[in-house]
Amino acid sequence: PRRPERVQPQMRRVRQLLRTIMSSRRKVFLIRHGRTEMNEWMASNPSSHDDPGFKDTVLTPAGEEGARKLADVAPEVDVVLASPLRRTLQTACLAYPNASIVAFPLAAERRWHSSDEGTPVEELEELFPQVDFSLVKETPYPWFHEGSKEPVPQFVERMCAFREALATREEEKVAVVCHWGVIQSLLNVSAANCEVVETSVDDLSPAPNQIGAWD
């Protein structure tokens, strides 16, 4: 009979192969948040580079309505991951009122304005009691880039970590409620508010040239 110490490495390789196969089959639905007060301001000031100061911007009434309508068409999934910014948490809770929602710091928007800076987790827990914030608590504060534009290499590195984190999850169907910049960097797709983009882990490919037009 084989010695146990030889069997264990083989079993590890088999388990790794199975994880790789499951990862390639895993369905991922990237969902952009609903319309926000910052989206409204940018639409009214398309050429401005000013920061209007909407720290951790929230959904407008129209954005909330869009997220509620999303609940009628949102794909059925095993888990909902959401960026811990308020607009994505709002969207996730409205679109998936009965789902398991996990705050996922790697899915936060690239810091461009103060609207992309987050809220302390203690406040978020009070605002969104139905959300699991354990991953946020495990991440050193601030879990978002603070004070200046997040450098492209740093953002791409975070998106690579985002992809790897999805690859190691066990669920077969995963929704990630996130942001324009996240979807653009991973798929080179310019998603509209509340748009659902179906993809797979294998198709997520963070690249600096996909961010250039936004930088």
Rounded CA gap, 121 and 75, in Å?
28
> pLDDT tens track of the chain, all 215 residues?
455 555 566 655 545 544 554 445 689 999 999 999 999 999 999 998 899 999 999 999 999 999 999 999 999 999 999 999 999 999 999 999 999 999 999 999 999 999 999 999 999 999 999 999 999 999 999 999 998 899 999 999 999 999 999 999 999 999 999 999 999 999 999 999 999 999 999 999 998 877 755 55
Specify the residue for token string 């991922």. Answer: 28
pTM listed for this prediction = 0.88
Helix, strand or coil, per DSSP, at residue 167: helix
